[in-house]
Amino acid sequence: MKISSFKTISVILLIPVFLSCTGDCPCLRGNLYFGLIGFNENEADTIIIRRYDKNTNFSILTDTIPFYNLSFARFTDTLYLSYFPEMAQLNSNHDYELFFPGAPKLIRISEINEIVSEQKCNGPLAREKVDCVNEITSYKIDGQLRQPSSLHKIFLVK
C-alpha cells in the first residue's frame, strides 16, 4: 500500500514538472490582408487568386482560387472585404496574381518576406505558438518594393 501511494504522489508531483518543460515553438505565419483603392463593388465582387511557387517568376502555378459575390465595406475611396477568407490571405510561401475580371486588372504580389520568430511553447505537446505572429517586413507589388502597415494591411490600387 505504501508503494502505491508513493507512485501516485510521485506522478502527481511530476506532472507539473513535465508540463513546464517546454522548448521554443514557431510563431504563426504572417498574412497580408488587402484593401482596394479606386475599385467599385462591381469591379471587385469577383477576385481570382493564383498562387505560384515562390521565386519562380510566376512560372509554376500551384493553385487557382476564385472568389465570387464578395461583400465589402467602403471607407472613402477604399473597399475592405467584409469577411476575409483564409484562402485569400497572402503569405510568404508563395507569389500571387490577383485578377479582377470586372475591372479588368491584374496585380502581382511577390517576394513576401517575414521575420520568423519563436517563443516558449505552452506545453510539451504544443507545435506552434498561437499568441504570436511573424512580422512581414516587405513585399513587391508589380515589381515595386513596399512595406505593409503594422496590421499587415496592403492597398491595391486600380
* Selection from 101, 116, 84 nearest residue 50 by Cα: 101
Residue 16, domain member (yes or no) = no
**109 lies in some domain:** yes
pLDDT tens for the chain, 158 residues long, are 555 665 555 555 445 544 444 577 888 888 898 999 999 999 999 999 999 999 999 999 999 999 998 888 999 999 998 877 788 889 999 999 999 999 999 999 999 999 988 887 766 665 555 678 888 999 999 999 999 887 788 899 99
Give CA–CA dist 75/115, Å, rounded: 31
Tell me, yes or no, whether 18 lies in a domain.
no
**Residue 144 falls inside a structural domain:** yes
Is residue 4 situated within a structural domain?
A: no
For the chain, what is the domain count?
Answer: 1
What phi, psi does 7 have (nearest 5°)? -65, -45
d(C-alpha 124, C-alpha 24), whole Å:
10
Asked, for residue 34, whether it belongs to a domain, the answer is yes
Question: What is the domain extent for residue 31?
Answer: 23-157
Examine residue 141 and state whether it is found in any structural domain, yes or no.
yes
State the sign of the Cα–Cα–Cα–Cα dihedral 99, 105, 111, 115: negative
- Overall size of the chain counted in residues: 158
Asked whether residue 72 is assigned to any structural domain, the reply reads yes
Give dist(CA 152, CA 146) in Å, integer: 12
